[in-house]
Amino acid sequence: MAGGVVASSAPVKNYPRKLTVFVVFACIVASSGGLIFGYDIGISAALISCFFASTVTRVLGRKWSMFSGGLTFLVGASINGAAKDIAMLIIGRILLGFGVGFAIQSVPLYPSEMAPAKLRGMLNIGFQLMITVGILCANLINYFTAKIKGGWGWRVSLGLACIPAIIITLGSLLLPDTPNSLIERGHTERAKAMLRKVRGTNDIDAEYEDIVAASEESKAIKHPWSNLLKRKYRPQLTMSILIPCFQQLTGINVVMFYAPVLFKTIGFGSQASLMSAVITGSINMVSTFISIATVDKVGRRALFFQGGIQMIICQVGVGTMFGFKFGTAGKANGPLSKAYTDWLLFFICAYTAGFAWSWGPLGWLVPSEIFPLEIRSACQAIVVAVNMLFTFIVAEGFLSWLCHLKFALFYCFSGILIVRTLFIAFFLPETKNRPIEEMSIVWKKHWFWGRRGYAAAAAAVRRSSVEQKAAGRKAVDSSTSSAASASSSSSSASSNSWVPDPVTGYYRPGNLRVQMDAAELRKTLLSHKQ
Ligand code: BGC
């Protein structure tokens, strides 16, 4: 499709890297933040808290945002478990929501910044895997605690949320900061050391320079929120709104929240809750491994298409079966045969599997890897807020939509799925294997976003700064460092000023470590067009 073909023809920059045990361990620990999201969502509080978390993530780093999330969730879970009245339950839930908002603001960003580009998808999807583990555990625990005689089972269920909270709270203390975040906060030497450690090589200069250039730009931007509205960030802003919105409009949480009712309707009786927890929960979790295994090989777009089409077929299947049996009256026109319930179950399972290897993990992975550093935290906050908002809308609206639209509701979901799949086909470039700080080139190469100044020109500047370094690193370094120190001692304000780029005409920070000369930059831009 248009977007993907053009984007994938762009040259891929391969930084030297090895997959180190250290980076795998760090990504697994960070992903455990998904457990609290899977176990319990406090939707409205999460929606608000992600905006505060955005500042914490930017100023203090990803690690402390995760830590705050885990700790707040832990306090909320303890209050809920010990609740004596409704007020305590409400306060506990608000804290749970705040915790979730903080955690998912930073957790998806962490592996995307830590992982080598070629394995970023696999390591990032650990987050979605943990969400599915959290959901499965919560459903099983709910089933068994509901059977506890004496009416205190709910305390166990709510209180056990402390376990995933302790895992992420303590885990985050062990986590190192990402090199990107360290550079963003001015710890350059620590960032270099970290980059060497996570890449398993001393040859980190090219990647380091790219992150530094991204960070310089980030520092020049004082108001990331208002900057988001700039034309050059239009692709990222669009994706940060539409991807989470579309993810929720798959209707996945209809299955996640209402599966027990659905299973009861199709004849599972008193075992409905257990069966729905075990069947949909396990399929959701196991299918996520397919995404982990394939995302860096076949790419994001292929999974979006395959999963999307599978989900469309299943939604149409469910709608048609409901239509035949229940019509518009809403009552079954006869007993449900075994073949009927088997087919229904098949469609529900295939739908869940399709989501679990496509829109589920990619709904978090793709946003986390497409934002440039200067707007990354702000855009991630939008992703979380939109995700929560639409989770709320679907969860609240489903029953009343079903009453009004009957079986046609499933056709509506599949209609939205078609629109979404077309949107991906035309507007989402392929991002597999691309270094995260180089992503702007992907937008610039895209048939739609590359035009009319939609994509940032900064990538070309960054990229050619690194290429220029390769050609004459030492000479350029010494002259710019003395110039930089002279200018910073004379005036810090002037080092943050913006200058017009000689080729693109865009303004860029005057303090980019390597100043481009026009001929050099033109050559680089032309080479990218080939
Ligand atoms: C979604 C959740 C959903 C879960 C199901 C996540 O990616 O954001 O809303 O409940 O997947 O596994």
Q: Measured between alpha carbons, how far is 236 from 455 in angstroms, rounded to an integer? A: 9
* pLDDT value of position 265: 77
Ligand 1 atom showing the smallest separation from residue 248 Cα: 9
> Is any atom of ligand 1 closer than 6 Å to the C-beta of 132?
yes
Tell me if 388 CB under 6 Å of ligand 1.
no
Tell me, what's the pLDDT at 476?
43
Number of H helices, E strands in the chain: 27, 2
Low-confidence ranges of the chain (pLDDT < 70): 1-17, 42, 44, 452, 456-530
Q: Which atom of ligand 1 lies at the shortest distance from residue 131's CA?
A: 12
Give the number of the atom of ligand 1 that is nearest the alpha carbon of residue 128: 7
**What percentage of the chain has pLDDT greater than the value 90?**
53
Pocket test for ligand 1, best of 104, 128, 292, 311 (most atoms within 8 A of CB): 128
Residue 328: what pLDDT? 82
Please report the pLDDT score of residue 210 as a whole number: 85
Residue linked to tokens 């489903």: 398
Per-residue pLDDT tens for 89-111?
Answer: 999 999 999 999 999 989 999 99
Spatial distance between the Cα atoms of 236 and 229, rounded to a whole number of angstroms = 10
Contact indicator for 155, 81 with CB cutoff of 8 Å: yes
Which residue minimizes the CA distance to atom 1 of ligand 1? 360
To the nearest 10°, report the CA torsion of 308, 313, 319, 322: -130
Determine which residue's CA is closest to atom 12 belonging to ligand 1: 132
Contact (CB, 8 A) for 138 and 163 = no
Q: Are 93 and 42 in contact (CB under 8 A)?
A: yes
Atom from ligand 1 closest to the CA of residue 253: 10
Whether 360 is in the pocket of ligand 1, judged by its Cβ within 6 Å, is yes
What is the radius of gyration, based on Cα positions, of the chain? 25
For residues 351 and 342, give the distance between their C-alpha atoms in angstroms, rounded to a whole number.
Answer: 14
Q: Which two tokens stand for residue 56?
A: 């914490």
- Does the C-beta of 358 come closer than 6 Å to ligand 1? no
User: Do 499 and 508 meet the contact criterion of CB atoms below 8 Å apart?
Assistant: yes
Ligand 1 contacts CB of residue 250 (under 6 A): no
Q: Whose CA is nearest to atom 7 of ligand 1?
A: 360
What local confidence, expressed as pLDDT, does residue 380 receive? Answer: 92
Pocket lining: 363 vs ligand 1, CB cutoff 6 Å: yes
Could you give the CA distance from residue 191 to residue 16 in angstroms, rounded to a whole number? 16
pLDDT confidence of residue 484: 40
